[in-house]
Amino acid sequence: MSGGLLVAGTTSDAGKSVLTAGICRWLHRQGVRVAPFKAQNMSNNSAVVVGRDGRGGEIGRAQAMQAAAAGLAPDLRFNPVLLKPGSDLASQVVLLGEAVETVTAGTFRELRPRLAETAYTALAELRAEYDVVICEGAGSPAEINLRAGDYVNMGLARHAGWPTIVVGDIDRGGVFASMFGTVALLAPADQALIAGFVINKFRGDLGLLRPGLDMLRQVTGRPTYGVLPWSLDLWLDAEDSLAYGRVLGRPAAPHGTEWLDVAVVRLPRISNATDVEALATEPGVRVRLTVEPAELAAADLVVLPGSKSTVADLAWLRETGLADAVLAHAAAGKPLLGICGGFQMLAREIHDPVESRLGTVPGLGLLPLEVGFDQRKTVRQSVGSAGPDLPVRGYEIHHGYVSSADPTVTPLITLADGSGEGMVLGAVHGTHWHGAFESDAFRRRFLTEAARLAGRHGFRVATDNVFAVARERSLDLLGDLVEEHLDTDALWRLIETGPPPGLPFIPPGAPPG
């Protein structure tokens, strides 16, 4: 049976996903057969995995990234339960890759035993196949209102008997209080598994931090296993950090004389927004997520990304004035791209009895097509071309489909059987495919055409930029940070021998339930 470790966090986006990936890459480099695991993820960013039955299924994109860090192909068991929020009150439940039902907070409690059993079975299989399993928690283990029935944080650690490290984001402030409070709100049996801490995103003189680390050990009886520095280069596949108004990554200087500015609408229910990260790896391309109509007006290329609730997010576009800004951008002949839900919004009409259940609603009317919705979700990996020498690979995750379209309009991608996918009409482009811009030649041609339509004649694409290399570089950086800044000998002892004995109890512990 394998050894393992749970990476928990003081909050969401504390650094659990990247630390898990970094530990996986470090162990993989040592020749250890290591697998990632997250019992339950809540995210609209997902990746398509081909299951053992040959059918496509979904897991959280972070777990697909962690699999790559471990040198593995993604496996549905790495994230057996995925919750995809469609509104503030309901989420779609994806179980071992397949959407099974939609739940609210009340009905989720009834389903939780089944989900826990599925997660524990998947973990048992991974433990039998791999030397080490590195588990990522969800949110915070100190969410005491959710502890009963938990199978993701301390419930998982208790089930496996594995040690837990707690990571905190010092950039947010209050990291020592949040780490102490995380431990102090846990029941004695849970506290006995909390082995220590990792601090993430530190900037400055480590000597100034050292007294705080010493005092944290004094009051908790637990060490800090290391302090990871802030790194601007860690942004690819960053599941929780797509923020308003921020430029993605660190744009390299343009190869030509002009930049290309890309504005991505930050929809309320944005889904698989990581599509635009491939564009952001290109020199001279600035990609910004925004909710400001004025930023759309100033952009060269506007992107409507995927959405977990197309009709609801389309209504939001209209309420905020962003729809008018999109229409004005298209009317000026400047390039516009819709991906998945964003593509559906460009249609003349949307017939939706599934997600919103609002029936027929008008789309933005920028493409001559109509969209229908099916109860059965399309989940598959796809291959096509955008010309004789431009292969394109992507993946599809959607209930919506093109129910009718003008057959004379040019498809964006041609499939092997000669049929078309997506649509191009003037400067307006749309596709259901996620991940298509990770195909280097296709991305270069698209950006070259977008620059021409935007009048950026001085923009030039790089001919040597390879997205897969950029992703591997990011994963290697994670492994480097773990090796250089964490006590890897101590981490390995935790994995091999389990929780240290005699860890002190920190009062008050979990309140009586």
Q: What is the pTM of this model?
A: 0.92
Question: Would 456 be classed as within a structural domain?
Answer: yes
Q: Write down the pLDDT at residue 104.
A: 79
Please give the residue range of the domain that contains residue 134: 3-42+59-79+107-234+471-497
**415 and 480 housed in the same domain:** no
Domain-ending residue, one of 461, 489, 507 = 461
In this model, does residue 513 exceed pLDDT 90? no
Q: Burial letters for 422-434: b for 16+ Cβ neighbours within 10 Å, e otherwise?
A: bbbbebbbbbbbb
Q: How far apart are CA 314 and CA 185, in angstroms?
A: 42
How sure is the predictor about 239, in pLDDT bands with cuts at 50, 70 and 90?
A: low
Q: How far apart are CA 266 and CA 289, in angstroms?
A: 6
Domain-ending residue, one of 434, 461, 488 = 461
Q: How far apart are CA 456 and CA 441, in angstroms?
A: 20
23-27, 36-40, 227-231, 449-453 — which is least confidently predicted? 227-231
Could you give the percent of the chain with pLDDT greater than 90?
70
**124 and 159 housed in the same domain:** yes
Stretch 49-58: mean pLDDT, rounded? Answer: 81
**394 and 311 housed in the same domain:** yes
Question: Would 390 be classed as within a structural domain?
Answer: yes
Question: Would 254 be classed as within a structural domain?
Answer: no
DSSP state string for 87-143: SSSEEEEEETTEEEEEEEHHHHHHHHHHHHHHHHHHHHHHHHH-SEEEEE--S-TT-
Question: Would 100 be classed as within a structural domain?
Answer: no
Question: Would 101 be classed as within a structural domain?
Answer: no
**264 and 144 housed in the same domain:** no
Question: Would 249 be classed as within a structural domain?
Answer: no
β 420-421/423-425 pair status: unpaired
Stretch 299-316: mean pLDDT, rounded? Answer: 95
**177 and 293 housed in the same domain:** no
Q: How far apart are CA 225 and CA 348, in angstroms?
A: 56
**487 and 454 housed in the same domain:** no
pLDDT digits (tens, 9 = 90+) for 327-360: 999 999 999 999 999 999 999 999 998 887 888 9
**352 and 395 housed in the same domain:** yes
Q: Write down the pLDDT at residue 66.
A: 96
**489 and 374 housed in the same domain:** no
Q: Is 340 a catalytic residue?
A: yes
Whose tokens are 């997010």? That residue is 313
How sure is the predictor about 241, in pLDDT bands with cuts at 50, 70 and 90?
A: very low
Q: How far apart are CA 123 and CA 119, in angstroms?
A: 6
Q: Per the structure, how many domains does the chain have?
A: 2
**435 and 335 housed in the same domain:** yes
Question: Would 240 be classed as within a structural domain?
Answer: no
In this model, does residue 290 exceed pLDDT 90? yes
pLDDT digits (tens, 9 = 90+) for 425-482: 999 999 999 999 999 999 999 999 999 999 999 999 999 999 999 999 999 999 999 9
CATH number of the domain bearing residue 23: 3.40.50.300
Question: Would 241 be classed as within a structural domain?
Answer: no
Q: How far apart are CA 92 and CA 107, in angstroms?
A: 12
Beta strands in 406-477 (DSSP E): 413-415, 420-421, 423-425, 428-431
Q: Write down the pLDDT at residue 245.
A: 55
pLDDT digits (tens, 9 = 90+) for 131-146: 999 999 998 999 988 8
CATH number of the domain bearing residue 334: 3.40.50.880
Q: Which of 329, 398, 434, 485 is catalytic?
A: 434
How sure is the predictor about 243, in pLDDT bands with cuts at 50, 70 and 90?
A: very low
**475 and 457 housed in the same domain:** no
Average pLDDT, the chain: 91
**268 and 372 housed in the same domain:** yes
**393 and 298 housed in the same domain:** yes
Long-range contacts from 460-464, C-beta under 8 angstroms, 24+ separation: 460/254, 460/255, 460/256, 460/284, 461/255, 461/282, 462/255, 462/282, 462/283, 462/284
13-22, 232-241, 259-268, 352-361 — which is least confidently predicted? 232-241
Using an 8 Å Cβ cutoff, are 356 and 311 in contact?
Answer: yes
Q: Which of 340, 398, 399, 432 is catalytic?
A: 340
